[in-house]
Amino acid sequence: MNLEPISQKKLHGLEIYFNELKELHVNNKLPNKILLSGQKGLGKSTFAYHFINYILSINEEFPYDISNNEINENNKSYKLTLNKSNPNLSLIDINIEKKFIDISQIRNLIINLNKSSFNDKPRFVLIDNIEFLNINAINALLKTLEEPSKNTFFILINNNKKVLPTLSSRCLNFKISLDNSSSNKIANILLDNKMDEIINKDLVNYYSTPGNLYNLAKFAKENKYDLLNFDLKKLLKILIEKKHYKKNYFIKFIIFDFIEYYFKKISVNFSSNFFDKYSYYIKRISDTKRFNLDEDSLFVEFEEE
């Protein structure tokens, strides 16, 4: 199954947030700058694509299916978006070969927004992983956010990392979350209802998001790892020893979550001194995530415990 947000026709678990934005749109109160914040792998990007398709396809022959929260694959806006040729949607994300979203991407966006629209539909700008905007890119973006063109809407996606107040303060922040039961249910759907046949229950915890569990299963299949025979400690050892986090963006964040889960699991058998070490690692993880610090020293130090 292809889990790319741009191609997901069905929205899972985030219907309540969709309905909130839909009501704002229906009542002509939709903010033109929206920040979607939440853990990586919750489906924030998929949610954004669905909401954008809902608006852009309203008057099309095959509009968005609101009752089932599903994109009709025959609608024109969806086809244009898949082909990355939708004139009413501008997409910005971090390039695989770079560490940041750079100023050239924002400059190209501004040039595009200054061009005349092809139709009278709203125009959307979707910026994923905004925590990777470098300072120059942010400065270039701020003026456009401050004075957006008429009928232009910005949706910014942040994965619970530190964002400059000058950027976040210009947006209405929607905090996205899922409880553990919902996350596991959605993950099972994404894995064709075979999660129990693929992933050891020791690896399924309250930190896991549907995207992370799916990507963990996909990673294991590609690397021929049998996750049913891996407990938490064994998986962490392999992921760190073989430096899989260097090649796979999602694996890095899975390791972060699993380290925290590891300490919580074993904490019941230790004295109060143990919690000093637990607090130390939680702070290291938090700082590494928020400030995009190098994770090597953190992982090596944990591996030596």
Q: What is the CATH number of the domain that holds 20?
A: 3.40.50.300
Distance CA 126, CA 47 (A): 11
Extended beta strands in 26-104, E state:
33-37, 89-92
The C-alpha atoms of residue 103 and residue 117 are separated, in whole angstroms, by 23
Residues 88 and 142 reside in one and the same domain:
yes
Same domain (yes/no): 102, 163: yes
Could you say which of 175, 202, 237 is where a domain stops? 175
Of 165, 154, 97, 166, the closest CA to residue 128 belongs to: 154
Number of domains composing the chain? 2
Q: What is the number of alpha carbons within 13 Å of residue 299 lying toward its C-beta?
A: 24
User: How far apart, in whole angstroms, are the C-alpha atoms of residue 42 and residue 241?
Assistant: 28
Based on the domain organization, do 22 and 98 belong to the same domain?
yes
Read off the tokens for 186: 């959605």
d(CA 26, CA 11): 20
Taking only the tens of pLDDT, the chain with its 305 residues reads 567 899 999 999 999 999 999 999 999 999 999 999 999 899 999 999 999 999 999 999 999 999 999 999 999 999 999 999 999 999 999 886 677 898 999 999 999 998 887 788 999 999 999 988 988 999 999 988 988 888 999 999 998 877 888 888 889 999 999 999 999 999 999 999 999 999 999 999 877 899 989 999 999 999 999 999 999 999 999 999 999 988 887 788 889 889 988 888 776 665 566 677 888 888 888 888 777 778 888 998 888 77
Instruction: Say if residues 130 and 157 touch (Cβ distance below 8 Å).
Output: yes
Domain edge (last residue) among 134, 151, 175: 175
φ/ψ bin of 160: left (φ > 0), alpha (ψ from -120 to 50), beta (otherwise): left
Range of 81's domain?
5-175
Residue 225 and residue 162 in one domain: no
Distances (CA, A) of 200 to 51, 216, 225, 256: 35, 11, 12, 18
Residues 268 and 138 reside in one and the same domain: no
Angle between helical axes of 15-26 and 44-56 (0-180°, round to 10): 30
Q: Would strands 33-37 and 172-175 be described as parallel, antiparallel, or unpaired?
A: parallel
Same-domain check for residues 13 and 149: yes
3-class secondary structure, 71: coil
Long-range CB contact pairs, 14-17, < 8 A, 24+: 14/42, 14/43, 14/44, 14/46, 14/47, 14/176, 14/178, 15/69, 17/47, 17/174, 17/176
Are residue 140 and residue 163 in the same domain, yes or no?
Answer: yes
Residue 157 · residue 126 · CB < 8 Å = yes
The answer to whether residues 47 and 18 touch, using CB atoms and an 8 Å cutoff, is: yes
pTM for the full predicted model: 0.88
3-state SS assignment for residue 278: helix
Contacts made by residues 166-172, CB under 8 angstroms, sequence distance 24+: 166/138, 166/142, 167/130, 167/133, 167/138, 167/141, 167/142, 168/35, 170/33, 170/142, 170/145, 170/146, 171/31, 171/33, 171/34, 171/35, 171/145, 172/31, 172/33, 172/34, 172/35
